[in-house]
Amino acid sequence: MPTGIEPTREESARKARERIDVRLRPEQKSLIEKAAHIKGLTLTDFIIQNAVENAKQAIRENETWTLERPDAELFAAALAATPSLGPQLTQAARRYKERYLER
């Protein structure tokens, strides 16, 4: 999906001038190096690709969260059921109302 913020190859070369200095534990670094090696990527490319993908997903999820089958079923079944309160919510709501709404 084009986002309008993905640079072309030439733009990447030209604009990749920002730096991030990150401190991490030695075992974290060797883990990332190992994974980058498996994927055939440089450490830098591996970190950037993963961080950018994670960032996009976090933003997407912040806006719209898509329920796949098991969760959509769970949610729809809950909506179809007649709601009833258990003792915990009933009592907690009563405590709250006594303290904050009925004064």
Partner 1 sequence: MSTDLEPKYYFEPLGETHDRAAFSCGVEALDRYFQGDPVRQDVSRRVTNAFVMTPNGRRVAGFYTLSPISILSVDLPANLARKLPTRPIGATLIGRMGRDQSLRGKGIGEMLLMDALHKAWQASKLVSCWAVVVDAKEGARDFYLKNEFTAFVTRPERLFLLMKKIELMFE
For partner 1, the binding residues in 35-64 under the rule CB under 8 A are 62-64
Confirm if 11 and 17 have CB atoms less than 8 A apart: no
Which window, 25-33, 38-46, 47-55, 82-90, contacts partner 1 (CB under 8 A)?
Answer: 82-90
Query: Applying CB under 8 A, does 97 fall inside the site for partner 1?
Result: yes
Query: Applying CB under 8 A, does 88 fall inside the site for partner 1?
Result: yes
* Cα–Cα dist 101/81, whole Å: 29
CA angle centred on 13, ends 34 and 31, rounded to 5°: 10
Looking at this protein, which amino acid is placed at residue 49?
A: Q
Q: Which is nearer to partner 1, 39 or 95 (CB)?
A: 95
Tell me which residues touch partner 1 (CB under 8 A).
62-80, 83-86, 88-90, 92-93, 95-97, 99-101, 103
